[in-house]
Structure 1
Amino acid sequence: MAVPYRPHSEGFAVYRPKFIDVTGVDSPDYATLADHFFSGVDSHERAAEVWNTHLIDESV
């Protein structure tokens, strides 16, 4: 998984994570993997605040 970002010098931002490769399973459940990833983000209050403040939603 990669988390693209824009550096602070250009106005810090994080973008939606991208799955690069999943090993060890034949048919990865990307929705479940993403849910677990974001649960980890949300479990760290300070990091979650930064993430949510600077997240750019590319789904629109």
Structure 2
Amino acid sequence: MTSASIKRVACPQCGKDAIFSPENPYRPFCSHRCQQIDLGAWANEDFRIPVAPEPEE
């Protein structure tokens, strides 16, 4: 693989360049640390889908 064909994306956690290929086991993250921080945020319910309250009868 040449350096021109390596796809780089911004890490969703820290913004650093991350290699987006099967060689990077943490993709789309740049490292294990960023991957774990994101997982912890999900487990902590920091990311939620807003739901409208149901009307009371």
Larger Cα Rg: Structure 1 or Structure 2?
Answer: 2
So what's the TM-score if we normalise by structure 1? 0.29
> Relative contact order (C-alpha < 8 Å, sep 6+): which is higher?
1
